[in-house]
Amino acid sequence: MNFTAKSSNPLTLTTQCLVAAIYEDGSLPTLTAALDKASRKAISKLVSKGDISGKKGESLLLQKQDGIRAQRILLVGAGKAKELDAKAFSALMTSTGKILEKYGFADAALAIADLPVKDLNAVRKGELVARNLMTLIYRYTATKARVAKSKMPSRIAAILSDSKERTALAKGLVTGAAVGNGMNIARQLGNLPGNICTPTYLGEQAHQLAAKNRSLLKTKVLTEAQMKKLGMHSLLSVGKGSDEPSALIIMEYRGASATTRPDILVGKGITFDSGGISLKPGAAMDEMKYDMCGAASVLGVMTALCELKPRINVVGVIASAENMPSGCANKPGDIVTSMSKQTIEILNTDAEGRLVLCDALTYIDRYKPKSVIDIATLTGACIVALGSVVSGMMSNDDKLAETLYQCGQDSLDPCWRLPIWEEYQEQLNSNFADIANIGGPKAGAITAGCFLARFTKSYKWAHLDIAGTAWLQGNAKGATGRPVPLLMEYLLNN
């Protein structure tokens, strides 16, 4: 999909479909009013007859009008002007994209990009236009014989009435398209079944991305033998019950000088989580292929960075394993030694994500990071606490936590901070090891964060629990691509 920003007169644009908005009270935004005047009040007449009222979700497709070059005009309801904020504008873009896809136009021009939106500048507007439309073109095709291709327009022009804002809008379109593509990459990886998307497969995808971006990205994949030499016995213990080898995948994006300290993303990559000996219930266990959505988001972000080429340094790390039951698998009561030399009593083998993450969080200390964010579908308790609306966030640094919260608000990919106070650490006490891998039934998401905090004391760190936001259930089942927008907002603007 190709995006362009224009400040042309919409009356003279040659396009298959020109999209214009109507407010709920029947009033017309600037560019819609210009179209109405050129068409001898054709739009106003339709509004007065009640053919379209301007309510959210409404649309009306018009034939070619005299005085306007566009072959068709698509009128869409924008709701109440005073309520048009970033969320409402994003929803308008998504609904408009679905309508355009229905008609199958080859190209479209969006006069709705000119709508005045509360607290939204031209850059942000462009980001939301491109991101929302890019994510609509995604189709899962890897394991299906027949899939209907997306009929979204391949060329989109976003129109502004103020020519001074065109450059800013164009910048936003580029960023939004890259973020949308990164989300689609993350969705694809999450949706792949566990017999295809293995730790080895994730490593191959990282290598392929590096091969396409040799000047920017360097990738290496540590084998089980290499991890054993480093003392990563916690990570390795998770994959003992599987025939699939575990892997630690490191992607180094170098857009700035070598002396610039990197921001680091660490993704949980459990490509299938049966729970191990602490076996999960059979119902919906197929969804445990999504237990690598943290890893998928890291690959999505690295893809977007390679497209945008920002002058920053970022290291993406994926701690990947398959958690299966067997005679070799971890057992409740087993004790393993982490790379940090802290010993861990495994009370529940289904609390495996923290076991792979803790060694990765120790490994990345060698980079002397500016900040570290780990991303994981870590706990069902986070879904109980926050549902599927916001990601859980914990941090050992107030400023980092505040920044991530604001980035979530700005990117419409929100997170909410939970405490990791010292009082919660007592729940992880063990009679036989330095730390237990679960803290009991109370505050499960928080105690999981407290566990990770014990391995992150030398740098600024935040943990994102995306168990509730990484994928959808039911008829719409599939990966969402979150929190790629949040992570990109943080990296590009902070």
List residues with catalytic annotation. Answer: 280, 354
- CA distance linking residue 425 with residue 450, whole number of Å: 6
In whole angstroms, what is the distance from residue 301 CA to residue 486 CA? 10
What is each CA distance from 372 to 98, 250, 360, 365, 403, in whole angstroms?
A: 37, 14, 11, 9, 13
For Cα atoms 248, 287, 293, give the angle at the middle one, nearest 5 degrees.
Answer: 35
Integer Cα distance of 451 and 443 in angstroms: 12
- Dihedral angle, C-alpha 370, 460, 352, 430, nearest 10 °: 140
Residue 152 contacts residue 129 (beta carbons within 8 Å): no
The neighbour count for residue 193, using CB atoms within 10 Å, is: 12
Torsion of CA 302, 303, 308, 311, to 10 degrees: 20
| Residue in 291, 303, 319 with CA at minimum distance from that of residue 194 | 291
In angstroms, rounded to a whole number, what is the distance separating the alpha carbons of residues 380 and 445? Answer: 8
Q: Burial, 8: exposed, middle or buried (Cβ in 10 Å; 0-12, 13-18, 19+)?
A: middle
Q: How far is CA 241 from the centre of its chain?
A: 30
What's the distance, CA 408 to chain centroid?
A: 11
Triad 296, 456, 245: Cα angle to 5°:
45
Contacts of 304 (CB under 8 A, 6+ apart): 178, 179, 181, 182, 484, 488
- How far apart CA 185 and CA 304 sit, in angstroms, is 9
The Cβ of residue 251 has, within 10 Å, a number of other Cβ atoms equal to: 26
Judging by DSSP bridges, how do beta strands 155-159 and 107-110 pair with one another? parallel
